[in-house]
Amino acid sequence: MKRTLVAGTLSLLLPAIGLAGEYNLTVDRVTIDTGEFVKEGVGYNGKSPGPTLRFKEGEEVSINVTNNLDEMTSIHWHGLILPFEQDGVPGISFPGIKPGETFTYKFPITQSGTYWFHSHSGFQEPEGAFGSIIIEPEGREPFRYDREYVVQLTDKHPHASERVMRNLKITPDYYNRKQQTVGEFFSDASENGFLNTVKERLAWGDMRMMQADVEDLQGFTGMINGKGPEQNWTGLFEPGERVRLRFINSSAMTYFDIRIPGLEMTVVQADGNNVQPVNVDEFRIGVAETYDVIVRPKDEQAYTIFAESMGRSGYARATLAPEEGMEAPVPGLREPARLTMADMGGMPGMDHGDMPGMDHGDMGDHGDMVGENEMADMSDMDHSRMEGMDHSSMTMPEGGASDPFYAKGSGLVPTAANGGKFLSYADLKAQKPLYEEREPAREIELRLTGNMERYTWSINGVKYEDAEPIRLKYGERVRFKFVNETMMTHPMHLHGMWSILDVGAGQWNPIKHTVSVQPGTTVYMETEVDAPGQWAFHCHLTYHMAAGMFRKVIVEGGPESTQAASSEQLSEVGGDV
């Protein structure tokens, strides 16, 4: 058994492919077997997920990417700080990689931690085009561990992504399998009163929304490292070892709540950056986020890694065990969460028919089906004056939810399955400040807007193709104010620059690349504008991004040696983001 353990560990510690500093990736059509269904997809080096790329902080890497598809492709190095021309976003960073061609990415490695890479072309990412990145630090880690594993999550759906998008545009609740039942109505009526329950149901109906609209996409198979629940990916350990688990959420649409029954987890990294250790029983990982945790199984038994979707419609499962073939019980799914009026920024009893700017009269028109590259319009909706929305701060009023990143009275506030500790953003404190604390030069408000009935998503009520770029000045610090005016949770990802999430900890605020914004809430982050060029800024839910919740960011100025490409060069950049 020890020989197997050593071999398994070495395979994780050595570079997955190529020589140190140089890597070769092919983009291929692949077959994906979830254990429940088989489908064609896209992968790297003949498989999905693609290989784990191991870099070393301080080195310069060259990555040769050969496109074996019959369509354009690209690779975005999610969370990596690099020159914008190497960021891999067609139409913003570079033109893309044509069929049959090889493009070489070259950039310095200026950080360490857990990251991932994925296609930024069409719907290739949800079809399987992603892999993981481990960057070893120049110095010692501030924590000890004996072995490590990547735990890369995804939500694999039997439908092709183009079909999913079409179905969502035609019937937004097409994939909603958790709709409310008659029994649930009578249960609510018994608890809250018949008239109050009827009034609440009518209010939701008037808004063309459902309390079950927690997830857009259900009916998926959750996978870990390319294996479905029945295939049961297994990581081996020796009792007493400290095991580092590098969780990466590569899902198209699914937030996962992670727990390992019988083991406490110590969170040591968030989005690749070290944090002051936090002991938790469960944590929620948003789409595109990463969390590194350390566990110490002391007994010679198996433990289940259980990743339950936020909407309780599905799960991914893997195992930690001293030997192959060992299993532990798999928990059942918990009762699904329900949205409340608080999550919509209003309170029960409010007259939504009088909401300024909201026209519900024609919300039933689904004639505007969009294809893969079209962006849907929501210009007829004005969310800026929705009454009853509290966007004042992240700090909860007395009697509010225990987690300051959820609206008062939210139905989405998570609790640990065993009544223990559930990680909050407020628990995250930087291990070492990355930037000096200083006042931002200005604040930019980004209202996250959308219409579930038409399945349109946008920023400040404007779709991507109609929006002006966000212009930043090199050297300034900017404060972004996210105001979520929708019923969905949005993981907002800024390319090329770090996002300093305001948890009220001053210089110890955590550094992230993806920030989740809950329904009916306002979240602040600050950015040191230290990367010239053009960058993407978007919701990382695949179908929200495709429907328009996306912006181009242009950083003007900067050192002469790192000036952004000339306007002539940028005019040549085109393609599909």
Task: Tell me the DSSP string of 195-208.
Answer: HHHHHHHHHHHHTT
- Per-residue pLDDT, 453: 80
Rounded Cα distance between 29 and 573, Å, is 26
Q: What is the 3-state secondary structure (H, E, C) of 433-483?
A: CCCCCCCCCEEEEEEEEEECCCCEEEECCECHHHCCCEEEECCCEEEEEEE
Beta-sheet strand order (sheet of 456-459): 456-459, 442-451, 477-484, 522-528, 499-501, 511-512
Residues 451 and 172: beta-carbon distance below 8 Å:
no
Closest listed residue to residue 266, CA positions, set 287, 247, 288: 247
Rounded Cα distance between 149 and 306, Å, is 15
Residue 151: in which H helix or E strand, if any?
strand 147-156
- Per-residue pLDDT, 424: 97
Residues 319 and 313: beta-carbon distance below 8 Å:
no
- Per-residue pLDDT, 195: 65
- Per-residue pLDDT, 408: 84
Q: What is the largest CA-CA distance in the chain?
A: 70
- Per-residue pLDDT, 217: 85
Closest listed residue to residue 150, CA positions, set 284, 274, 245, 255: 245
Whether the CA torsion 68, 74, 79, 83 is positive or negative: it is positive
Q: Which two tokens stand for residue 213?
A: 């609209």
Residues 325 and 350: beta-carbon distance below 8 Å:
no
DSSP, collapsed to helix, strand or coil, labels residue 518 as coil
- Per-residue pLDDT, 374: 33
Rounded Cα distance between 299 and 461, Å, is 54
Prior bond to 49 cis, omega within 30?
A: yes
Whole-prediction pTM: 0.83
For the chain, state the CA radius of gyration. Answer: 23
Whether the CA torsion 223, 224, 227, 231 is positive or negative: it is negative
pLDDT tens for the 577 residues of the chain, in order = 333 333 334 334 444 444 458 999 999 999 999 999 999 999 999 999 999 999 999 999 999 999 999 999 999 999 999 999 999 999 999 999 999 999 999 999 999 999 999 999 999 999 999 999 999 999 999 999 999 999 999 999 999 999 999 999 887 677 775 454 444 444 545 666 666 544 554 444 444 455 556 788 899 999 999 999 999 999 999 999 999 999 999 999 999 999 999 999 999 999 999 999 999 999 999 999 999 999 999 999 999 999 999 999 999 999 999 999 999 999 999 998 878 877 766 333 333 333 323 333 333 332 332 333 333 333 333 333 333 333 333 333 333 356 899 988 888 899 999 899 999 999 999 999 999 999 999 999 999 999 878 889 999 999 999 999 999 999 999 999 999 999 899 999 999 999 999 999 999 999 999 999 999 999 999 999 999 999 999 999 999 999 999 999 999 998 864 444 434 444 444 445 6
DSSP letter for 560, please: G
Rounded Cα distance between 392 and 139, Å, is 41
- Per-residue pLDDT, 175: 72
- Per-residue pLDDT, 227: 98
- Per-residue pLDDT, 346: 38
Rounded Cα distance between 247 and 447, Å, is 29
Closest listed residue to residue 535, CA positions, set 20, 55, 84: 84
